[in-house]
Amino acid sequence: MAEQRQIVPSYFQRKPKDDSLRSLSSRHGNETRCPQRRRDLIIVRAQRVKEKGFTVNKIWVAILILASTAALAQQQPVTRVQTALNHLTVIEVAEPITMAAAGSEAFEIERHGTRVFVKPTKPDVATNLFVWTEHGRSIYELQPAGEVGKMDVLVTSVQQPPIRTAAESLSKEDVAKVAEQVLSQTLLNTQPVNAAGIKTQKNRVNVRLEDVVRGKDAIYVRYQVTNLSTVPYRVIAPNVSVLATEGNAGASMPPANQQLAAGYLERLGKVSSTPLELLHSEIDQQDVAPGKTSTGVLAIRSTDGSPQIYQFVFGSDNASPIVTAAVL
């Protein structure tokens, strides 16, 4: 059976058979010990990206989209609508309405053509209302039912263009510039994880942490899963937590960017575990056949810039859950 080619996320791409890259870097940190070697390594990586036409990983694209979406949403004006019990308020827009949605069942919402009819059914309830047309969107804040004399009978609105219009207005050149900046920063900030002390376990599934990139509110980790058992192994997103020693620890904290052997965790004694939010998980081959290796990337919520012990608990193989830890 032909071996499937692994698809490694673009911003962590490596090419082990590239002699120029191998001569500039070793697995155990030479690139960080010598500034000149690190600069040369960055140049080689950047040149490979340019020649091969690598694209930015979808994690970074998603971050850019979320950030721009949030900024645009904050600029969207909200119209306040005063209502009264047993009375209709009519909201009218410039073109036929395709969808209208309110956040509470305390308001009856009906739409016909270019008009939305709003009727509160309960007092002391406020909610929001979204109205979409083919080319725009309006946001309203429906106030609790009040006095009839103060209610809005007819509300006319000028709709804002949808967020996708702003995104589509970006030229290919603008998108390429942003992608190039993100990719350059990622390459500059990529650091290898030292796994020199990790022993390969026979007849088990082994996890090695390869690289780490630190963002403002997240840590991105590239890892490899090698299946040395006799049955296929399915990779699922791990549970990630921060470990902290209770009282005086029996072992000092290793340097940052180092994967920890099982013996180190045993020497820590009693520890507390704080679960972390996993922002994203990506794997090139979820089902790993015996003797094969798959590469994955994790995005972990982390606002603390100081080195901490992170524990990763993957799904069980035939023996037990796959657990590894690292100082990141």
The answer to which of 70-84, 184-198, 299-313 has the lowest mean pLDDT is 70-84
d(CA 174, CA 182): 13
User: How many CA atoms within 13 Å lie on the side-chain side of 166?
Assistant: 14
Mean pLDDT along residues 1-8: 45
Q: Where are the beta strands (DSSP E) in 24-145?
A: 78-81, 89-92, 97-102, 107-112, 115-120, 127-133, 137-142
**Structure token digits, residue 140:** 């309203």
Phi-psi region of 124 (alpha: psi -120 to 50; beta: other; left: phi over 0): left
312 close to 323: Cβ distance less than 8 angstroms: yes
Percentage of residues in the chain having pLDDT higher than 70: 70
Long-range contacts of 196-204 (CB under 8 A, 24+ apart): 196/27, 196/28, 197/258, 197/259, 197/260, 197/261, 198/259, 198/261, 198/324, 199/261, 200/226, 200/228, 201/228, 202/228, 203/228, 203/229, 203/230, 204/228, 204/229, 204/317, 204/319, 204/322
Question: What would the pLDDT profile of 162-171 be if each residue is shown by its tens digit?
Answer: 555 444 556 6
* CATH number of the structural domain 193-327: 2.60.40.10
Going by pLDDT thresholds of 50, 70 and 90, the confidence category of residue 271 is confident
In 3D space, the residue among 88, 187, 220 whose CA is nearest the CA of residue 142 turns out to be 88
Determine which helix (DSSP H) or strand (DSSP E) holds 20, and give its type and residue range: helix 19-24
**Structure token digits, residue 250:** 């029996």
Output the pLDDT for position 40. 54
Output the pLDDT for position 71. 46
d(CA 206, CA 119): 61
Buried b (16+ CB within 10 A) or exposed e, 307-321: ebbbbbebeebeeee
In 3D space, the residue among 202, 259, 235 whose CA is nearest the CA of residue 314 turns out to be 235
Hey, what CATH topology would domain 78-161 get?
Answer: Immunoglobulin-like (2.60.40)
Dihedral through CA 186, CA 187, CA 190, CA 196, nearest 10?
Answer: 150
Question: What would the pLDDT profile of 189-247 be if each residue is shown by its tens digit?
Answer: 889 999 888 999 999 999 999 999 888 788 899 999 999 999 999 999 999 999 988 76
320 close to 201: Cβ distance less than 8 angstroms: no
In 3D space, the residue among 207, 204, 208, 206 whose CA is nearest the CA of residue 229 turns out to be 204
Three-state secondary-structure class, residue 186: helix
Mean pLDDT along residues 46-71: 45
In the chain, where are the structural domains located?
1-54+163-181, 78-161, 193-327
Going by pLDDT thresholds of 50, 70 and 90, the confidence category of residue 115 is very high
Please report which residue ranges of 152-309 form alpha helices under DSSP H. 163-168, 172-189, 262-268
Output the pLDDT for position 279. 86
Mean pLDDT along residues 242-264: 79
Three-state secondary-structure class, residue 288: strand
